[in-house]
Structure 1
Amino acid sequence: MSNIRLVEAKLPTGFRFHPRDEELVCDYLMRKVALTDTFQLMIEVDLNKCEPWDIPETARVNSKEWYFYSQRDRKYATGLRTNRATTSGYWKATGKDKAVHSKGTIVGMRKTLVFYHGRAPSGTKSDWVMHEFRLQPTFSVSTFKEDWVLCRMLHKTKEIGKNLVAWKAVMMT
Structure 2
Amino acid sequence: MEPLNFTEHSMLQLPSGFRFHPTDEELIVHYLKPKAQSIPLPFNIPVADVNRSDPWTLPGDADHERYFFSTVETKYPCGKRSNRTALSGYWKTTGVDKKIVDSRNKHVVGTKKTLVFYRYKAPKGCKTNWVMHEYKLANSAAQGVKSWVICRVCLKKSGKKDFVKDEEMFELEKRGLVFYDFIGGPRKINDGSSSSCSSGITEDEGNSN
Runs of 4+ in 1 over 6 A off after TM superposition: none
Q: Cα offset for 1:39? A: 6.0
Number of corresponding residues: 150
Cα 1:45–1:75 change in 2 (3 A) is same
Q: Deviations over 1:40-85 (max 9, x none)?
A: 511111124421000012xx4x832110011101111121111111
Kindly report which structure 2 residues correspond to 1:36-47, keeping only aligned pairs within 5 A, or say none.
36-37=39-40, 40-47=43-50
Return 71-80 or 22-31, whichever deviates more: 71-80
What RMSD over aligned residues (CA atoms) do the two structures have, in Å? 2.2
CA–CA separation in structure 1 for the residues paired with 2:96 and 2:48 = 24
Return 78-87 or 121-130, whichever deviates more: 78-87
Matched, 1:113 2:115: yes
Matched, 1:23 2:26: yes
Check the 8 A contact 1:28/1:37 in 2, yes or no: no
Report the structure, 1 or 2, having the larger helix content: 1
CA–CA separation in structure 1 for the residues paired with 2:58 and 2:36 = 22
Kindly report which structure 2 residues correspond to 1:1-173, keeping only aligned pairs within 5 A, or say none.
1=7, 2-5=10-13, 8-9=14-15, 14-37=17-40, 40-57=43-60, 60=61, 63-102=63-102, 103=104, 104-137=106-139, 141-144=142-145, 146-158=146-158
Q: Which has the higher contact order (CA 8 A, sep 6+)?
A: 1
Q: Cα offset for 1:118? A: 1.0
CA–CA separation in structure 2 for the residues paired with 1:48 and 1:14 = 31
Q: Percent identity among equivalent residues? A: 41
Check the 8 A contact 1:97/1:111 in 2, yes or no: yes
Question: Normalised by the size of structure 2, how large is the TM-score?
Answer: 0.66
CA–CA separation in structure 2 for the residues paired with 1:122 and 1:100 = 33
Q: Cα offset for 1:15? A: 3.7
Q: Deviations over 1:120-155 (max 9, x none)?
A: 110000110000000002x665124x4110000001
Check the 8 A contact 2:72/2:148 in 1, yes or no: yes
